[in-house]
Structure 1
Amino acid sequence: MTNPLLNIGELQDFAAIRPEHVEPAIDTLLARARAAIEKAADPATPATWEAVIDAIDDAGEPLWRAWSAVGHLNAVVNTPELRAAYNAALPKVTEFSTWVGLHEGLYRQYKRLREDAGFAALSPTRQRIIELALRDFRLSGVELPQPQRERFAELSEEQAAVSQKFSENVLDATDGYALYVEDDTELAGIPDDVIAAGRAAAQADGKPGCKLTLQAPCYIPVMQYAHSGELRARLYKAYGTRASDTAQSPDYDNSGLIERLLTLRAEEAGMLGFAHFAEQQLQTRMAESPAQVLDFLCDLAARAKAYAVRDLDEVRAFARDELGLQELHPWDVAYVSERLRTKRYDYSEDEVKRYFPQPRVVAGLFDVVQALFGVRMAHARDASVWHKDVEVIRVEDADGALAGHLYLDLFARTGKQGGAWVDLDRNRRRTARGLQTPVVFLTCNFTPPSAEQPSLLTHDDVITLFHEMGHALHALLSEVDEPGASPFGSVEWDAIELPSQFMENFCWEYDVLQRLSAHVQTGEALPRELHGRMLAARNFQSGLGTVRQIEFALFDMLLHQNKDVANIGAVMQILRSVRDEVAVLVPPDWHRSPHSFSHIFAGGYGAGYYSYKWAEVLSADAFAAFEEAAGAGHTRLLPEVGARFRKEILAVGGSRCALDSFVAFRGRKPDIAALLRHSGMAEA
């Protein structure tokens, strides 16, 4: 009981977890869960909800909470020791999950539950859970003949290992790069706070000058503001070749892992009788077929490409006429675009971020959540955390009842995966012991605070934070009492981004920005006049941004429909063909974006990257309900519409299909018109 992973309370004791705890705890919990499943699967066990599903959930929850903690720590405070412990346990957990999916006895128990006369008396949520479980059993290979079942298990285990190694290579390649700049003239244009952080990092390394890295808080402002084209080119190449065969160091080359993962996925799909991996993945999505996804993406590309061409023409003309750049290189685009936006709209991101100190933004976000959904956020005291920067928040309903806990880990650091995401420690669940509330992790990679000032967020950072809060609220405000219908466990993948993208819309509302902003020196809220300029620039280069997302989504979908991708050259050829079709800005031949495309090779979005644009149609249309109710010139922070969104979207989780939830909220099926209008492409 001295192992914190075997003694998990209401909240985990993260500070006490050590690498040496991992394998013994996981071994113990796997054995307990395996025994519970064998008992539930025994034909002598009555096929009832309590004897089968409740029993499995009771035994499985300690295992999955422990494994969630280990996986989360491995992502946010990665060390060689923790990585080794995680990788030692990973095959065992993967083998267990595969074993469960292939367990014929358990499958038969679920079939008995479905076929029993008592099925009709179960709640619709419990009926759906059983139906979804039977589908997932079939997708897990349970109906395969015995020799193929063994091979299927091998495929699942190897895919998990390959994806994990892909993720590690991206992290190590990112953390392993540093450029020390000693000539101050090369740093001209870069924001002062970025330079100060770089000087402090160089000093910590015992090096002179300023340390530039590939982590987002450094890389993005350098690409936007550094006057030195040579400096931008060096960082652009380092970033664009991370973990690839064209990188300066081949130590983390993901080429072979991409090839292997695609081969494994194609073989798995073939064993299950699908034409390809994309068809297999869409069995659990809103979209009905790969052809429907391709039609959706190509239609959107046709609407957006003319705007993208116009955007790029404007950048080229500005570069030539205003900056004297006769040739626009890819590493010039962010820099020239920022200069163009600054001149056209008379503000820069660096100016705007002075109004968004991170503590003020977080407090304002909590205010918005309370206004929309009637919940209050309060700091939890004495909660154990994995890093000093982590905050733990109690989420309480209007009556003071606990709705859940939220961990905020917002700043970039070495050993932490890049990007932003939300993960789950545990789901809401009602048991004989009472109501168990959800616990959620929200992770970002913003610029850390310094001794002189708090972390300053760009407006894009603010949007990212609201996006991730939407995901967190999906879990925290669920009213589903059964884990099998939890939001993250059963909402269709191409609808899971609806709450997150919906929340982004509020970042453009003036009354919301008043709550979020306080100038770092004067305390002044964002002026209305500056907000007007930001609003005018909202769709600046939206055409370029849209076709870029479509490029990623088409590449992903076509890649996973091709069963003959045997080498990295063929992968790159698919990407080139997509770019020939939709892109207007094409990177150099040595660029290797697939090698760090963790979403599809390590993050669960394989044959699913289209979900971002698919869900954006849903989210824009959902926000349009607030616009319509508010009318012109009035706040969109409408509690009555927020309550309906909470009831019909957030609270129901996966207890019904996502389309039914959307129709229940909106009164009709989704319409793309709001997305086109919000993107400045309404006339398309």
Structure 2
Amino acid sequence: MDNPLLNMTGLPPFPALRPEHVEPAIDAVLEENRSRVAALLAATDHYAWDSLVAPLEALEDRLNRTWSPVSHMNAVVNTPELRAAYNACLPKLSDYATEMGQNEALYAAFRSIAEHAGFGTLDPVRQRIVSNALRDFRLAGVALDPERRERFRAIQQRLSTLTSKFEENLLDATHAWFRQVTDTAELAGLPDSALAAARQAAATRELDGWVFTLEYPSYFAVMSYADHRPLREAVYTAYVTRASDQGPHAGRWDNGPVMEEILALRHELAQLLGFRNYAERSLATKMAPDTGAVLAFLEDLAGRSLAMAREELDELHRYAREHHGLERLESWDITYCSEQLRRHRHQLSQEDLRPYFPEPRVLEGLFAVVERLYGVRAELQPGVDTWHPDVRFYRLVDEAGEVRGQFYLDLYARAHKRGGAWMDECIVRRVDAQGRVQVPVAYLTCNFNAPVEGRPALFTHNEVLTLFHEFGHGLHHMLTRIDHASVAGINGVAWDAVELPSQFLENWCWEPEALALISGHHETGAPLPPELIRRLRAARNFQAGMQMVRQLEFGLFDFRLHLEYDPARGARVQEILDEVRAQVAVVAPPAFNRFQHSFSHIFAGGYAAGYYSYKWAEVLASDAFSLFEEEGIFDAETGRRFLRTILERGGAQEPMELFIEFRGREPEIDALLRHNGIAA
């Protein structure tokens, strides 16, 4: 069989990729890698960068490039056949990673490089790669006895299966539920954009009327605007019980047992490596010095935010009573009443802004902002093979005419596509043995409403923020100047610093100079009027206290789950969540709420015992942006300095060193508090 996964030289040939190609390709690459590693180790007993580390990086890169399109398609065009092929490879990839991490001869070879007199003459980037590798060998269990090694391998294999299962349960539960509406009375309050999308969803299912789903744009529209309280309650109930033992599909895709087993195995894994718990294991590759520092950071922010959050909730209760006759505010009323209160106080709704953020203008403006800051322009490249007709492909070109990176842009929600928004790597920058530069390629994925009824896709301001956030990650990946894949772009970056470029870029979405570039009425082209800009900025910190404690709830819940795991007591998922809510939350959800069953960031993503990273990195992002507030938001010199010190350096240096090089000092929390309207 001619296998396109094995014959790739450039971009993945997505239309040619079939589920039956996946397992044979991975088997072939893993077999070839194993034999090549053995040959490298046998070739000499004096190991050096060029004879060992560089060839190993080439092997790892080929494996990543083979797997990347498979993993990506599994997330964005999921089918039963592709899912089966993907899952069949997970244990094989896990086994291979553990086998390499526990390879004593390989570990000894890296140690010999680090201990050789010539190590000090290697450039600092190569020294860091070798040091990282030695750390990662230890974290892979290279020092364990054979019995414990085997247990470590079994745990890793099982965890790769369980995290995939968590995501599959969530995907299936999300797409299994919908609500058909044929009575127009139930549609009161919903904006035209939501109704058009719901009509299209009904037509796709060959149903009359309107269909609302649990895809985020549909869910958010109902929760924010639907006057009909029973509709809000039905959609809320289905959404917060996805993949759980509660709600309309109770028990069908229940992630409860999956979470229990994941947490038990992570704890056992950490203890095998000599850590007391998985939170300690998580911090081995992060900026935060220890678990106490993380808890103190989150609890300090909670202490600064709680009073403000409680005042905001009290105000919401008063407003709901006086203006909507709601004596008791239920969870399905919070978003709706908050939106009504925002309108009442600021004469502003997300829907008021949507006509001013048509997709073509937003993209054009985003690219203009990036060009002003970093001197790179985005150019659409037609005719590139993709996995769906809606996907587009661009390249980034700098002022010298060099192609610095390329990216796929997949913006719209659809069936068989994972929810949320993310950036992922397709190809990582590296320079090969012949001196050829491998241009980095990113996947940029969102879940916005598609164009309907002849209009372009119209974004809310929140969606514009999401797009800027993911593009910030993409720039970190694409603009790197590091020549070694393991520390190029986001690779090798401490996870609690990786959100710096993404959260940083969001700031331009609030600035009048930038809003002039990213907004323009979809019918008239008129920019966002100054009065709307004033109201948007005035409403920036609307309920910022409530939003802050919500994020702190997620961060503390995640961290304590992994810090306090006790095999004798089990995971105590609901118990710990209830305790955290008693400590920092101001909104108490109903007993049937199972938010944790869809918390894929920590159960299926890279944020286990690391969700605090969003707030940790927001301190860095806010402080970095404050320099632009001082120098001018489009100050070219400051923009190029951020490019040189943060975006181009990837994981080649400690994040704190890079931040100090950019800012001239260590980060301070004042800008974060100011940007969130919380008194310092």
Alignment TM-score, normalising by the size of structure 2 = 0.98
Written as runs of structure 1 = structure 2, the 5 A alignment for 1:74-89 is 74-89=74-89
Alignment match, 1:510: 512
Task: Confirm whether residue 584 of structure 1 aligns to residue 581 of structure 2.
Answer: no
Q: Which residue of 2 aligns with 1:646?
A: 643
Q: Which amino acid aligns with 2:600?
A: S
- 1:314 maps to 315
**Equivalent-residue separation in structure 2 for 1:425 and 1:304 (angstroms):** 39
Which residue of the partner structure matches residue 678 of structure 1? Answer: 675
Partner of residue 373, structure 1: 374
Secondary structure of residue in 1 paired with 2:442: strand
CA distance 1:207–1:64, shift in 2 (3 Å): same
Residues 20-29 or 560-569, more deviating: 560-569
Contact persistence 1:428–1:478 (CA under 8 A): yes
Q: Does 1:40 align with 2:40?
A: yes
Q: Which residue of 1 aligns with 2:622?
A: 620
What's the secondary structure of 1:403's corresponding residue? strand
Find the residue that maps to 1:5 and give its secondary structure. Answer: coil
Once residues 567 and 89 of structure 1 are traced to their aligned partners in structure 2, the CA distance between those partners, rounded to angstroms, is: 33
| 1:68-105 C-alpha deviation (Å, 9 max, x unpaired) | 11000000010111111111111111111111111111
What secondary structure, in the 3-state scheme, does the structure 2 residue paired with 1:284 have? Answer: coil
User: Which letter does structure 2 place at the counterpart of 1:119?
Assistant: F
The residue type paired with residue 227 of structure 1 is D
1:294 equivalent to 2:295? Answer: yes
Indicate the residue corresponding to 1:163 in structure 2.
163
Shift of 1:43: 7.1
> 1:73 — aligned with what?
73
Aligned 1:408-419 pairs, distance under 5 A: 408-419=409-420
Structure 2 contact 479–489 (Cα < 8 Å) conserved = no
Shift of 1:200: 2.0
Please show how residues 343-492 of structure 1 align to structure 2 within 5 Å: 343-433=344-434, 434-492=436-494
1:314 deviates by: 1.0
Aligned to 1:663: 660
1:203 has 2:217 as partner: no
CA distance in 2, matches of 1:565, 1:111: 36
Q: How far apart in 2 are the matches of 1:149 and 1:74?
A: 30
Q: Partners in 1 of 2:33 and 2:285 — Cα distance? A: 26
For the residue of structure 1 that corresponds to 2:409, the secondary structure is strand
Shift of 1:417: 0.5
What is the aligned partner in structure 2 of residue 633 from structure 1? Answer: none
User: Partners in 2 of 1:290 and 1:429 — Cα distance?
Assistant: 34
Kept after mapping to 1: 8 A contact 2:196/2:453: no
Q: How far 1:54 moved relative to its partner?
A: 1.2
Counterpart in 1 of 2:338? 337
Once the two structures are overlaid, the 10-residue window that deviates more, 220-229 or 38-47, is 38-47
Aligned counterparts of 1:90 and 1:488: Cα–Cα separation in 2: 23
Alignment partners' CA distance in 2, 1:85 and 1:258: 23
Partner of residue 525 from structure 2, selected from 523, 537, 540: 523
After TM superposition, give the deviation of residue 519 of structure 1 in Å: 0.8
Name the aligned partner's letter for residue 44 of structure 2.
A
Decide whether the 8 Å contact of 2:565 with 2:571 is kept in 1: no
Partner of residue 594, structure 1? 596
1:566, 1:204 → 2: CA distance?
50
TM-score by length of 1: 0.98
Paired residue type of 1:649: I
| 1:514/1:526 contact within 8 Å kept | yes
How far apart are 1:126 and its partner, in Å? Answer: 0.2
Please say if residues 429 and 489 of structure 2, whose CA atoms lie closer than 8 Å, have aligned partners that are also in contact.
no
| Deviation (angstroms), 1:562 | 1.7
Change in CA separation of 1:263 and 1:569 when aligned onto 2, cut-off 3 Å: closer
Q: CA separation in 1, counterparts of 2:71 and 2:206?
A: 32
Q: Is the 8 A contact 1:622 1:666 kept in 2?
A: yes
- Aligned equivalents of 1:132 and 1:60: distance in 2? 15
Q: Measure, in 2, the Cα distance between the counterparts of 1:491 and 1:519.
A: 39
Aligned amino acid, residue 480 of structure 1: I
Deviates more, 1:301-310 or 1:25-34: 25-34
Q: Which runs of 5+ in 2 are unaligned?
A: none
Distance 1:647 1:569 in 2: 44
**Alignment partners' CA distance in 2, 1:57 and 1:381:** 32
CA distance in 1, matches of 2:475, 2:49: 28
- Residue-by-residue CA offset, 1:518-553 (whole Å, 9 max, x unaligned): 112221110111000000000000000000000000
Measure, in 1, the Cα distance between the counterparts of 2:330 and 2:476. 41
Mapped contact 1:259–1:565 kept (Cα < 8 A)? no
Once the two structures are superposed, residues 164-222 of structure 1 have per-residue CA deviations (whole angstroms, 9 ceiling, x without a partner) of: 00000001100111111111100111111211221222122122221110101100011
Q: Does 1:240 align with 2:237?
A: no
Read off the aligned partner of 2:432 and give its amino acid letter.
T
Aligned to 1:219: 219
Match of 2:116 in 1: 116
Q: Provide the secondary structure at the position in 2 that maps to 1:297.
A: helix
Q: CA deviation at 1:40?
A: 2.6
Q: Distance in 2 between matches of 1:620 and 1:472?
A: 19
Q: Deviations over 1:245-300 (max 9, x none)?
A: 11322210000000000010010011011010000110100001111000000000
* Partner in structure 2 of residue 537 of structure 1: 539
Amino acid at match of 1:618: L
Q: 3-state DSSP class of the match of 1:641?
A: helix
Shift in alpha-carbon separation, 1:568–1:409, aligned structure 2, 3 A: farther
CA distances 1:102-143 after superposition (whole Å, capped 9, x unpaired):
111111110011011110110000001000110010001000
Gaps of 5+ in 1: 631-635
Residue aligned with 1:535, SS: helix
Q: Between 542-551 and 561-570, report the one with greater CA deviation.
A: 561-570
Q: State the distance in 1 between where 2:529 and 2:267 align.
A: 54
SS at match of 1:288: coil
- Which amino acid counterpart does residue 442 of structure 1 have in structure 2? L
2:566 counterpart (564, 571, 590): 564
1:313 counterpart SS class = helix
1:563: Cα distance to partner?
Answer: 2.5
Indicate if the aligned counterparts of 1:186 and 1:231 stay in contact, CA closer than 8 A: yes
Please name the residue that 2:103 is paired with: 103
**Contact persistence 1:428–1:438 (CA under 8 A):** yes
Shift of 1:227: 0.2
The share of aligned pairs that are identical, in percent, is 48
Distance 1:58 1:170, change over 3 A: same
- Cα displacement (A) at 1:317: 0.6
What amino acid does structure 2 have at the position aligned with 1:344?
A: R
Question: Structure 2 CA distance, aligned partners of 1:221 and 1:386?
Answer: 28
Aligned partners of 2:122, 2:48: CA distance in 1, in Å?
11
C-alpha displacement of 1:567: 7.3
- Aligned counterparts of 1:93 and 1:313: Cα–Cα separation in 2: 52
- 8 A contact 2:478–2:489 mirrored in 1: no
Q: Distance in 1 between matches of 2:197 and 2:568?
A: 44
The whole-number CA distance in structure 2 between the counterparts of 1:586 and 1:356 is 34
**Stretch moving more, 11-20 or 598-607:** 11-20
How far did residue 4 of structure 1 move?
1.4
Partners in 2 of 1:241 and 1:657 — Cα distance?
41
| Stretch of structure 1 that moved more, 222-231 or 37-46 | 37-46
CA contact (8 A) 1:40 1:106 kept: no
Change (3 A) 1:607 1:258: same
Q: CA deviation at 1:16?
A: 1.2
Deviation at 1:565, TM superposition (A): 5.9
SS at match of 1:242: coil
Do residues 94 (structure 1) and 91 (structure 2) align? no
Q: Residues 436 and 44 of structure 1: is their aligned pair in 2 closer, same or farther, counting only changes over 3 Å?
A: same
Moved more, 644-653 or 427-436: 427-436
